Structure 1
């Protein structure tokens, strides 16, 4: 059950790997909603600790270090600084933004592991894993490359094939080799320590089921994992980069990155509390503290199942009250991809569009992927800026300030009670409606409905524009100056309220608005949420600053520069990660794309085969009659294919390209005589054939007209 009337809040935002910069998908996924939530809580007077930092251990760090020719420590130092600076410039108001390489984190993580070990929670297990005899180390999945057994991609990783999307294990690769030395790895026995999630499942189920108020995507994903049945998971790894396992017989072993990373929330709270002279335990052990984790959907299982299991085992720490995970944000019709440089990078945005932090904050919130994946486009960015921020919010404030300068010398006028019943009713209706907005916006924020809250904020500006349209003070000033002054005062009070209400969403705009209105707090007029909705925030006689536009219109040529930048990236993506040209380079008409297309070549043909080789392939046409996602897999779909011979089950790694619903009824081409194989515990009896476009998207290969199921391809 959700905690009612908590005394304090511990709010965390996901610890991002320090192996690259921040992009808009990260912001929309968790950091921006977390910041809005925390800024609102602070404005209501709540005690809040907003905690985040960089995750600086794990294989992604070592892979980036190898790629950049740096040490892992150099990599995390580089990206920690860049990420922290970007967040600060964008206005993400962490109480602390730290890192998991700090000594306090190593100490806290090792203490946590030791506590669980001493309580007997871990199961020791000896297994065989791949070992590189040249590099003299065990190999994580991503350090093993071989031929994919599904699509024959020669560069498939030990955990998945990035060409066909199939989830793999190192044992399934054909002719595996080490990316460290290029040598063929051997199997060696190694011991690791498992957290027995299977035995802990009843307690985890009870915890999850007590939070039916969680977002449907979060609660549903948890139920899927629980229904499948939890399995033990190793909490240690055979690596040389990470936090050393604090046991005498654990040389060459480090804590699993998803064991130590969430403990970072605790160690970073310790750092912050020590700096502020506070007691960190109040934020992690007091039952009147509300713990909220903001994450992206790819981290749900770690924050809702594995980390709570760790906390339960430790015994003295509180569990999360809510985990409001967002879905993914796409970019211009394609998934954001760091490897393909298909992203809007925050540090580049801040350089290209200085002073426009709030425009991006507004657009990402207005189009946040709260319940389903959403999409960022530069045209939508321009439209929302021009038609909403400029035309509604900025226009209202500008009119109020300009008219006050014109008719009252820029001084906040007083009010008078009108004898006109229509005018009186109009003012009462305005003030009554204004008074309701803080509670309505606040409720939406507290229920993690940030898009709705932002819409209500814009409605406050609409309320002001509507009031101007109904009262027309520029006309009334000629015949009834007192009435015009009253209207201007009411409008300025709305603007003052906007300065408070927009601060969680648009903090830079709120600051500009406070300066323009010369809005200052006083003992009886605190400029926070507790006083929002009042009609006396601005004191009569206050001198306003000169009128200044809050937002500027964005012209087409300015936006086109950003679109061209992405088009250049699209053209460059005709070259794969290894530098080999990919067929079908896009030609979108830009000089860069045309130049890239001219340099693009078709991949070299595979070795010649004989007709006898070809006739061994039994390629047929079938119709997909059933389709569903494979539990615990982001890649696999389980398909039932009518093959004219009673039907068969085929597992295909295409879940990121197609939904199950859109596949049902489609005729497809499939390889019928591929030897059956197990994937995720289920048997696949064939392979769906696909065409891959230059951008990595997949297309079905149906016949150009309907063919009987079981028809052969020859």
Structure 2
């Protein structure tokens, strides 16, 4: 762990303009939590710091869209984000806010210290200005037509339809999002930090002193430094943020990327009066956990700020992860292409560790990776249920069945090479897991833990205590027991005891090793073994004496449950159903209206929500699918002409609206007992279904 007396671990401050999704978790919050839980298990003096970033243009854009104040936005999302982290077991010591008075004071003082030391340059530049609202406009406040795709709602920094990066000068017919006025350019003064002055120091400190950093981090920093640094504005024209603490700075605030990282300092101040020990003493190890989009700010700009100010420690490491895609596509919050953490918690109550496990096992540590619901299901069923959960359950069940539910003793005189080899694996696993965690290789560390569980299953299968127990039972009943006789009973029982004693000690080690990754599961194992949390301290890892001989254990309970196909199908459907599609280049004409009807005509229809439980193609009919639809009270066969639009396997589990009182009709020799409602969008068929999953048979009115 190095020669450090304390650890300061930070996780990137999330923007308080929306909820957090699983890409955020995989990017920095889960790795940071794993590392902190490991440090705490080692009894290290550690503080885990985070909070919501409540300033900047995204906040004001959100407020403008919702016609509320920026404070309303940050108040709402600070709670949603904090609750999501807490529910997932992300164990911050504090989750602070950059809108807090202590942060405003800390950031203002930081700026003033640099200003008084003459470390800023004052520059005038021309920026876009709204002549009606009399305010300067950030790029996102300027809207116009994209020169690439013709989208007339493109922003001044990006077109969200085609994804092209833009500048306001490139927009066709630009106008202010605040007033629709045509923006003009106007001179404004700001304070710049001359980053080029810190370039020689950064090259020595970073490029020479931190060659051990992850390749993606080191490479991006080297690219920036090789290209040469420029002065960067540390203030902005805005009325939302931390006011620039100077007399001639009316309408100006600190640049959010100057303000936000100082939030780590102010949060630590809020947490403890000893904050300076963690920020100013050289024997502190500071580690920033971030995503790759924040590398430059945490590795170049913030360290330069800390160096310029003086008196602060610098980061020892910045183990940034790459991005996590969803079902093969980049996460897009604007398109709602994301798996939101608060939704996951609602849909999978008490299964936080399944998501923690999958996100760690597939973490984008060195390159972008992909989350799919099918992989989520497979890893749960094949790895958690069939490996870790299976080993723990077999150990508990056999201990109750063969040893009266009490920890049997280890008969050392009867221990064979297989027993001794298994015991030696405990310490070897500790060393390998520890080495991986220290190097921020969390996927590798988790794989070592699961390998120990797998070895436990293999060991138990090889020892076959149930076969030995059956031999004892047969001997006592006077039945044939192979070559065993009554004289062999003590030796057979010793082998059973040894196997289950070693499995229980292995199970206790798994509680320690899984705790950084799956804390809820770890505590379930402790509960089954009736041991206290103190056993989870890292010094106990690798020991073969964690559970006491003769100690009574609780009744077996399953750690994990199998996830069925319909559950996964529902999540995939939910993801696609929630996708916000880009506006079409030209609106398609609506279908012509049909003749007017009376309410009584509509009331004759019996519309019910159903779930497709089977789907197959109808022989010799290219356009027809035969569906079995569950409508609660019964299952209906429906023949539908949608085969050209849907793969049968893809629509199982989908909810549909069924006309349930339509007279049966034979199609290709199959009696169709209803009709499914569909919508047509530019030639594409779409199921008409409820916005939320409802019970099959629910009426539509």
CA distance in 2, matches of 1:521, 1:29: 28
Partner of 2:176: 178
Partner of 1:429: 421
CA distance in 1, matches of 2:91, 2:53: 19
Residues 289-688 of structure 1: pairs in structure 2 closer than 5 A = 289-419=284-414, 423-477=415-469, 478=472, 479=489, 480-520=492-532, 526-570=535-579, 573-576=580-583, 598-599=680-681
Structure 2 contact 526–533 (Cα < 8 Å) conserved: no
CA distance in 1, matches of 2:585, 2:334: 11
1:566 Cα deviation (Å)? 1.6
1:5 Cα deviation (Å)? 2.0
Partner of 2:266: 267
Residues 96-135 of structure 1: pairs in structure 2 closer than 5 A = 96-135=94-133
For residues 163-218 of structure 1, the C-alpha deviation after alignment (integer angstroms, 9 at most, x for no partner) is 44443322333322100001111221110000001222111222211101111110
- Larger deviation: 408-417 or 38-47? 408-417
CA distance in 1, matches of 2:214, 2:501: 42
Residues 131-280 of structure 1: pairs in structure 2 closer than 5 A = 131-209=129-207, 210-274=209-273, 279-280=274-275
For residues 692-714 of structure 1, the C-alpha deviation after alignment (integer angstroms, 9 at most, x for no partner) is xxxxxxxxxxxxxxxxxxxxxxx
Partner of 2:55: 57
For residues 299-323 of structure 1, the C-alpha deviation after alignment (integer angstroms, 9 at most, x for no partner) is 0110011111101100110111111
Structure 1 contact 130–186 (Cα < 8 Å) conserved: yes
Structure 1 contact 568–592 (Cα < 8 Å) conserved: no
1:579 Cα deviation (Å)? 12
1:462 Cα deviation (Å)? 1.0
1:107 Cα deviation (Å)? 0.3
SS in 1 for 2:536: coil
1:520 Cα deviation (Å)? 3.1
For residues 379-438 of structure 1, the C-alpha deviation after alignment (integer angstroms, 9 at most, x for no partner) is 10010000000000000010111111111221111111234xxx4211211111111111
CA distance in 1, matches of 2:587, 2:9: 45
1:7 Cα deviation (Å)? 1.1
TM-score by length of 1: 0.79
TM-score by length of 2: 0.81
1:493 Cα deviation (Å)? 0.3
SS in 2 for 1:146: strand
Distance 1:165 1:229, change over 3 A: farther
1:600 Cα deviation (Å)? 5.0
Structure 2 contact 10–50 (Cα < 8 Å) conserved: yes
SS in 1 for 2:412: coil
1:352 Cα deviation (Å)? 0.5
CA distance in 2, matches of 1:481, 1:152: 80
Structure 2 contact 161–582 (Cα < 8 Å) conserved: no
Structure 2 contact 131–184 (Cα < 8 Å) conserved: yes
Structure 2 contact 57–138 (Cα < 8 Å) conserved: yes
Distance 1:141 1:501, change over 3 A: same
CA distance in 2, matches of 1:199, 1:172: 32
1:591 Cα deviation (Å)? 6.7
Indicate the structure (1 or 2) with the bigger Cα radius of gyration: 2
SS in 2 for 1:218: helix
- Larger deviation: 125-134 or 363-372? 125-134
SS in 2 for 1:16: coil
CA distance in 1, matches of 2:395, 2:464: 11
CA distance in 2, matches of 1:292, 1:475: 52
Unpaired runs of 5+ residues, structure 2, are 473-488, 591-643, 658-675, 685-701
Q: For this pair of structures, how many residues does the alignment match?
A: 586
Structure 2 contact 150–585 (Cα < 8 Å) conserved: no
Structure 1 contact 330–373 (Cα < 8 Å) conserved: yes
SS in 1 for 2:416: helix
SS in 2 for 1:180: coil
1:519 Cα deviation (Å)? 1.5
CA distance in 2, matches of 1:494, 1:267: 43
SS in 2 for 1:6: coil
2:26 corresponds to 1:28: yes
1:581 Cα deviation (Å)? 7.7
CA distance in 1, matches of 2:182, 2:655: 44
SS in 2 for 1:250: coil
Structure 2 contact 176–182 (Cα < 8 Å) conserved: yes
Distance 1:270 1:587, change over 3 A: farther
Residues 83-102 of structure 1: pairs in structure 2 closer than 5 A = 83-102=81-100
Q: CA RMSD in A?
A: 2.2
Distance 1:587 1:330, change over 3 A: farther
Distance 1:596 1:139, change over 3 A: farther
Structure 1 contact 575–582 (Cα < 8 Å) conserved: no
CA distance in 1, matches of 2:298, 2:291: 10
CA distance in 1, matches of 2:169, 2:564: 55
CA distance in 2, matches of 1:15, 1:321: 19
SS in 1 for 2:189: strand
CA distance in 2, matches of 1:172, 1:155: 13
1:442 Cα deviation (Å)? 1.2
CA distance in 2, matches of 1:437, 1:89: 29
Unpaired runs of 5+ residues, structure 1, are 603-714
Structure 2 contact 385–561 (Cα < 8 Å) conserved: yes
